[in-house]
Amino acid sequence: MAEQKVPETNKKRQISQSYWSLVWWKFKKNKLAIVGGILIILFYSICGLFAEFFAPYTLDYQSDYLEARPQPVVFKDEEGNFSLRPAVYGLEEKIDQTLRKRFYEVNRTKIYPIYFFVKAEPYKLLGFIPTDIHLFGTDPADPEAHVFLFGTDRLGRDLFSRIIYGGRLSLLIGLLGQILTFTLGMVMGAISGYYGGVTDVIVQRMTEFVGAFPDIPLFMALAAAIPVTWSPILVYFMLTLILVFIRWGGLARQVRGLILSLREREYVLAARSFGASDARLMFRHLLPGTLSHCIVIATLMIPGMILSETALSWLGLGLRPPLTSWGVLLQEVSSVRSIRFAPWLLTTVPFVLLAVLSFNMLGDGLRDAMDPYGGR
Amino acid sequence: MSEPLIEVKDLKVQFNVRDGIIHAVDGATFTINRGQTLGIIGESGCGKSVTAKAILRMVPRPGKVTGGEILYHRRIKSNGSEITDIVNITELDPDGEEIRKIRGGEIGMIFQEPMSSLTPVYTAGSHIGEAVGLHRLVPIRKVGAQMVETIQAHRRISKQEAREIAIDMLRRVGIPKPEQRVDAYPHQLSGGQRQRVMIAIALSCEPKMLIADEPTTALDVSIEAQILDIMRELQETVDMAIMFITHNLGVVAEMAEEICVMYMGKIVERASAVEIFYEPQHPYTRALLKSIPHVGKKSRERLASIKGMVPDPFNLPSGCVFHPRCPEYMPGKCDRIVPSWTQVGENHWARCLLYEGV
Amino acid sequence: MLAYIARRLGYILIMLVLVSFVSFLIIELPPGDYLTQKLQELQARGDRSAEMRIAEYRARYGLDKPLLERYWIWSTHFIKGDFGDSFEFERPVTEIIGQRAGMSAILAISTITLTWLLAIPIGVYSATHQYSIGDQITTIVTFIGLGMPGFLLALIVLFFAMTVLGQEVGGLFSREFQDAPWSFAKVVDLLKHLWIPAFIGAVTGTASLIRIMRGNLLDTLGQPFVEAARARGLKERTVIWKHAVRVAINPLIVILGSEALPQIIAGNALVATVLNLPTLGPVYVRALQVQDMYLAGTVLVFIVGMTMIGNLLADLTLAALDPRIRLE
């Protein structure tokens, strides 16, 4: 439809802006993408940078309340009157005689007010600022008081705090893994596409071979191969590397395809005819051309990374305690028994989904914004 | 014999897009007579294709016909005599049976991009067969019936017959070895051959009119000449009107008897081809004609071009839409008064204040 | 054509040899093996004869031989259809796979059928009614579906079935039919259980298919041949299904080919593990967890083989459906 295209070209002629400011202008109009981006920033700052501050308890703090249900939040003071200060009801231990199982009931007579910026266990903010202030918590003077917004696990650890800490490793593996994948994929794809010949054949065969294995089964097999005896940190890095190893091929193939088509474009031929060096052609003309495409793909790949970690750890093939990630937290609900008796342990699931959804929303918005043809 | 076939009266088509409303066609009025060729010329984006699509009730979303009417004079045989039935196309259901009988069956259309106008997974023959199967009916003759009467019963065409028709049509549009090419897939045909196939499809149902929307724009000059020849030859044999849309003045001079000049959704001048070329009245038509290169012109002389740019369709100029680019711009008039459709000669109309005596 | 297929099959064969060796290596990689674990377990239980028994096992399975020799023995037997023994189940791998392959296939086929029956019409609707309310709802739902991994969805379904419906979900048969011979009642019971994993698979599978179908069809609908078909007087439905969808669906054939066949073997192993289904997926997961190497290796080789055969079949189908594609 020639008729419809007219306004578009006119507009572009009138407002001549750089590509990136156009991208930003278009991205801003996409509400979902903005929400996704904000959520991601929140996730990474809450879980990644300031987990110690936002979590009321430390990672390994074990309370006496084992598998306690979440405490409902109310706006009442200790006498039971309405108050702006939120508070939680206390918990009372009961024994179920038929199941011979201990469980907790909400005790509405006990009310623990929640205080903000309370002094609790000391930690180092960002790893070097010593402090003991947490966003919220119960009265430090009252040893009885406790707040378990999402309940506790088998060892009496606060699930809310653990989800925040768990997010750190899960989100980081997505980011770290993706940065490595991105770099490796770009470099290998560019080399393969630019030089062609033997290099290209070797890179191609490598990606093809890795690609012949379906993702998840290969991933499981490789993860299972990590020795149990390794230190948790080493396991963490190995797992990240495995993720990168499996994923880089797809990106490399795309970059190669783009480079191949860009290499024949007039502006590249022109640059070459001026005597531009290989490196200059590559970094000045070719790679920038693939960048926006790759950023979009990379963003959309992060959720897959996070989910892979979660799934593997959940199966017991990935991260293992004492490391805490979302997948490790989900290990606790791999049995039907725990879903029945401690369903609140599933609270981790919405967080995983929200993080994944945020990345998808952001990636989709980026794709729309970076698509030079305006698209649908 | 100038019996009207299509009458377009004050046609208005709008596109409601996010940034506003585009008046793609704004008050177009013209008539196409039986067997006649009408040329429509204008720059790209002036609304010529939309006008053509409106005739087939095929204006793409978010476009909408918002005013005017398109009258189709259909001849039907009834009790041995011919009567003319007038159908207002703008009132038909866009996916109704009525318009679908007209599309392809009574008005055929060929498009600008022959490269992608054929469905890639079907052969040339099956395209023709599809159209023929839809629109061509064979009268059933009862063996032994003595009465010579118009037989009302019809049946659909068989596969074998459709194939024969397809081969015959391909031969008529000048495709070599039609018996083999009938089974060729679009990607096995050249651009010129594909456009021939498109013509074969459009003509296979013996339409009363052919809408040709820039049929040769995407083709080489030599192929273009061949395609135009074929269209003219076939027009003579089947008595068919042609609505020929193009931005190429040379082509339209060769094909059309009457010409409409469009600018920004409006028809600015209408006259016979001869008058348009020798006595153009509207400044836009004159400017267009000046911009074609002539043999014999001094090579040092620069070709005239129309000054300025096509205006933003969301911010059309006031008054006459052409005034910011017009060499005969009359300040105080052209930017205030919208020119009306004025007769400037016998069968010669223009939309310009120069002739309104304002 | 035949030469092409022969070439592809040859390529698959070479890949399978490589893949089997790499699989063997990967599974062999971790220090210790199933038997060392078993030994520790037995010793912990105070079994005095543990070491002797394990040594006997080791000799029987040839585990005392060097790696390459073991691979050679395994692979030569593999060709003959003997995939070795599973340590965990203490039965031949062939038997385990044979037992579960049927159920895996039934589950995979029903999931794939459900997925396609849902995805294609929804995708077509979404593209032909772009920006309508239906399209927008579809977009949001597919968005959530894209981000929803099957095993988490399975956990959620499990939770709801238990708390809301008060029903035990999991497995493919009720207890009374577990070992019963096939009967009409057993089939009904199977269907009652089957829809949950099929539904979960379909929810996660349809989302991406709908997105792809919608995108492809939108591209196709913008092509001139669609308008040309409409100008020929075809019904809108014919224009869309016979011309636009017919062209837009081709790329999806590749997805079907490369996903359907391997799915029969390992069909969403994670979901199957959550729901405790008697399919091959959970067996593979379990085999990896305990280093039951012959079992894990065999399944992995099968998955890869199926993927490659699926790809070949997809390419052949595509070539048959799309005249523009030539095999070379």
Q: What is the pLDDT of residues C203-228, one digit of tens each?
A: 878 888 888 888 889 888 888 899 89
Q: What is the pLDDT of residues C83-110, one digit of tens each?
A: 777 777 778 888 888 888 888 888 888 8
Residue range A158-186: average pLDDT? 87
* Per-residue confidence (pLDDT) for residue C61, from 0 to 100: 65
* Per-residue confidence (pLDDT) for residue B40, from 0 to 100: 92
Q: Considering only CB atoms, which chain C residues are within 8 Å of B135?
A: 233
Residue range C129-157: average pLDDT? 82
Quick one: tokens of A268? Answer: 């590249």
Average of per-residue pLDDT values in chain B: 83
**Cβ proximity of B12 and B52 under 8 Å:** no
Q: In what order do the strands lie in the sheet with B20-33?
A: B20-33, B4-17, B63-78, B81-88
Strands B209-213 and B241-246: parallel
Residue range A327-336: average pLDDT? 79
Q: Using the predicted structure, report yes or no on whether residue A372 has a pLDDT greater than 50.
A: no
**What are the contacts of A59-64 at 24+ separation with CB within 8 A?**
A59/A157, A59/A161, A59/A162, A59/A165, A59/A324, A60/A157, A60/A322, A61/A121, A61/A157, A61/A158, A61/A161, A62/A155, A62/A156, A62/A157, A63/A146, A63/A148, A63/A152, A63/A156, A63/A157, A63/A158, A64/A156
Residue range A346-358: average pLDDT? 86
How many Cβ pairs within 8 Å bridge chains B and C?
Answer: 72
* Per-residue confidence (pLDDT) for residue A371, from 0 to 100: 63
Q: How confident is the model at residue B260 (pLDDT cuts 50, 70, 90)?
A: very high
Is residue C187 in some structural domain? yes
* Per-residue confidence (pLDDT) for residue B210, from 0 to 100: 92
Cβ–Cβ below 8 Å for A336 and C170: yes
Q: Using the predicted structure, report yes or no on whether residue A5 has a pLDDT greater than 60.
A: no
Q: How confident is the model at residue C167 (pLDDT cuts 50, 70, 90)?
A: low
Most confident of A54-58, A221-225, A259-263, B104-108: B104-108
CA distance C7 to B352: 72
* Per-residue confidence (pLDDT) for residue B145, from 0 to 100: 47
Q: Using the predicted structure, report yes or no on whether residue C122 has a pLDDT greater than 90.
A: yes
Is residue C256 in some structural domain? yes
**Cβ proximity of B218 and B193 under 8 Å:** no
* Per-residue confidence (pLDDT) for residue A14, from 0 to 100: 45
CA distance A298 to A189: 14
Q: Considering only CA atoms, which of B131, A179, B87 is closest in space to residue C234?
A: B131
- Compute φ and ψ for A370, nearest 5 degrees: -90, -10
* Per-residue confidence (pLDDT) for residue A145, from 0 to 100: 75
Q: How confident is the model at residue C169 (pLDDT cuts 50, 70, 90)?
A: low
Residue linked to tokens 């231990």: A93
Residue range B78-100: average pLDDT? 82
* Per-residue confidence (pLDDT) for residue B261, from 0 to 100: 92
**Cβ proximity of B17 and A7 under 8 Å:** yes
* Per-residue confidence (pLDDT) for residue A376, from 0 to 100: 35
Q: How many residues does chain B have?
A: 358
Residue linked to tokens 């929303």: A361
User: Which H/E stretch holds residue C96?
Assistant: helix C93-128
Q: Using the predicted structure, report yes or no on whether residue B52 has a pLDDT greater than 80.
A: yes
Give first-to-last CA distance, chain B, whole Å.
37
CA dihedral B206, B211, B213, B216 (to 10 degrees): 40
Q: What is the DSSP letter of A283?
A: I
**Cβ proximity of A51 and A164 under 8 Å:** yes
State how far residue B250 is from chain C, nearest Cα, in angstroms: 26
Greater pLDDT, C49 or A233: A233
Write the DSSP string, A22-35: HHHHHHHT-HHHHH
* Per-residue confidence (pLDDT) for residue C86, from 0 to 100: 77
The ipTM is 0.84
Question: Tell me, what amino acid is at B135?
Answer: H
Of A2, A6, A14, the CB nearest to B313: A6
Q: Enumerate domains of chain A plus CATH numbers.
A: 71-147 (no CATH), 161-369 (1.10.3720.10)
* Per-residue confidence (pLDDT) for residue B151, from 0 to 100: 42
From A127-131, B65-69, B158-162, the region with the lowest mean pLDDT:
A127-131
Cβ–Cβ below 8 Å for B185 and C231: no
Q: What is the pLDDT of residues A23-32, one digit of tens each?
A: 787 777 777 7
Q: Using the predicted structure, report yes or no on whether residue B144 has a pLDDT greater than 60.
A: no
Q: Considering only CB atoms, which chain A residues are within 8 Å of C143?
A: 357, 360-361, 364
Greater pLDDT, C275 or C241: C241
Q: How confident is the model at residue C267 (pLDDT cuts 50, 70, 90)?
A: low
Q: What residue spans of chain A are helical by DSSP H?
A: 2-14, 19-28, 31-43, 51-54, 159-195, 197-212, 215-224, 232-263, 266-273, 278-280, 287-315, 326-331, 336-341, 348-370
Residue range C66-82: average pLDDT? 80
Cα A324–A328–A330 angle (5° rounding)? 130
Of A222, A315, A353, the CB nearest to C152: A353
Distance of CA B41 to the CA centre of its chain: 10
Question: Tell me, what amino acid is at B247?
Answer: H
Q: Using the predicted structure, report yes or no on whether residue A13 has a pLDDT greater than 60.
A: no
Provide residues of C within 8 Å CB-CB of chain B.
Answer: 223-225, 227-236, 243, 246-247, 250, 321-324
State how far residue A10 is from chain B, nearest Cα, in angstroms: 7
Q: Considering only CB atoms, which chain A residues are within 8 Å of C166?
A: none
Q: What is the pLDDT of residues A141-158, one digit of tens each?
A: 777 777 788 888 777 788
State how far residue C317 is from chain B, nearest Cα, in angstroms: 13
* Per-residue confidence (pLDDT) for residue B167, from 0 to 100: 92
**ω before A322 within 30° of 0 (cis)?**
yes
In sequence order, the 6+-apart residues with CB closer than 8 A to the CB of B39 are B244, B245, B246, B252, B255, B256, B258, B259, B260, B273
Q: Using the predicted structure, report yes or no on whether residue B148 has a pLDDT greater than 60.
A: no
Is residue C6 in some structural domain? no
Provide residues of A within 8 Å CB-CB of chain C.
Answer: 209, 212-214, 216-218, 220-222, 224-229, 303, 307, 310-311, 314-317, 330, 333-334, 336, 339-340, 343, 346, 349, 352-353, 356-357, 359-361, 364, 376
CA distance C122 to C211: 10
In sequence order, the 6+-apart residues with CB closer than 8 A to the CB of A206 are A249
Write the DSSP string, B202-237: HHTT--SEEEEESTTTTS-HHHHHHHHHHHHHHHHH
Quick one: tokens of C300? Answer: 């992995």
User: What is the number of domains present in chain C?
Assistant: 1
Residue range B334-357: average pLDDT? 86
Q: Which residues of A94-104 are buried (b: 16+ CB within 10 A; e: fewer)?
A: eeeeeeeeebb
Query: By the CB < 8 Å criterion, does A1 face chain B?
Result: yes
Instruction: Give the max Cα distance, chain C.
Output: 87
Q: How many residues does chain C have?
A: 328
Is residue C174 in some structural domain? yes
CA distance C296 to C24: 9
* Per-residue confidence (pLDDT) for residue B140, from 0 to 100: 61
Rg (CA), chain B: 22
Residue linked to tokens 């009374």: C176
Is residue C43 in some structural domain? no
Q: Which domain holds residue C218?
A: 106-327
CA distance A342 to C277: 23
Cα A7–A8–A12 angle (5° rounding)? 115
B267 three-state secondary structure: strand
In sequence order, the 6+-apart residues with CB closer than 8 A to the CB of A336 are C158, C162, C168, C170
Q: What is the pLDDT of residues A52-88, one digit of tens each?
A: 888 888 777 777 777 777 877 877 776 767 777 787 7
Distance of CA A238 to the CA centre of its chain: 18
**ω before A303 within 30° of 0 (cis)?**
no
* Per-residue confidence (pLDDT) for residue A10, from 0 to 100: 43
Side-chain half-sphere exposure of C290, counting CA atoms within 13 A = 18
From A1-10, A37-46, A92-101, the region with the lowest mean pLDDT:
A1-10
From A2-6, A91-95, B82-86, C138-142, the region with the lowest mean pLDDT:
A2-6
* Residue A50 buriedness (CB in 10 A; 0-12 / 13-18 / 19+): middle
CA dihedral B92, B97, B100, B101 (to 10 degrees): -110
Q: How confident is the model at residue B230 (pLDDT cuts 50, 70, 90)?
A: confident
Residue range C71-85: average pLDDT? 80
Greater pLDDT, A184 or C150: A184
Residue range B305-331: average pLDDT? 82
* Per-residue confidence (pLDDT) for residue B39, from 0 to 100: 92
Cβ–Cβ below 8 Å for A7 and B60: no
Residue range B252-270: average pLDDT? 89
Average of per-residue pLDDT values in chain A: 78
Is residue C59 in some structural domain? no
**Cβ proximity of A226 and C288 under 8 Å:** no
Question: Tell me, what amino acid is at A255?
Answer: V
Q: Using the predicted structure, report yes or no on whether residue C111 has a pLDDT greater than 80.
A: yes
Greater pLDDT, A48 or C125: C125
Is residue C33 in some structural domain? no
Q: How confident is the model at residue C175 (pLDDT cuts 50, 70, 90)?
A: low
User: pTM to 2 decimals?
Assistant: 0.79
CATH number of the CATH domain containing C176: 1.10.3720
Cβ–Cβ below 8 Å for B121 and C246: yes
How many Cβ pairs within 8 Å bridge chains A and C?
Answer: 109
Q: Using the predicted structure, report yes or no on whether residue B123 has a pLDDT greater than 70.
A: yes
- What are the distances in angstroms from CA A209 to CA A21, A85, A187, B124, C308? 40, 60, 19, 41, 11
Question: Tell me, what amino acid is at A282?
Answer: M
From A340-344, B159-163, B244-248, the region with the lowest mean pLDDT:
A340-344
Q: Using the predicted structure, report yes or no on whether residue C121 has a pLDDT greater than 90.
A: yes
For chain C, percent of residues with pLDDT exceeding 70: 88
Residue range A150-168: average pLDDT? 84
Q: Considering only CB atoms, which chain C residues are within 8 Å of B60?
A: 227
Q: Using the predicted structure, report yes or no on whether residue B150 has a pLDDT greater than 60.
A: no
**Cβ proximity of A298 and A181 under 8 Å:** yes
Residue linked to tokens 């699989």: C23
For chain A, percent of residues with pLDDT exceeding 70: 93
Cβ–Cβ below 8 Å for A7 and B44: no
From A65-74, B53-62, C208-217, C229-238, the region with the lowest mean pLDDT:
A65-74
* Per-residue confidence (pLDDT) for residue C32, from 0 to 100: 62
* Per-residue confidence (pLDDT) for residue A272, from 0 to 100: 81
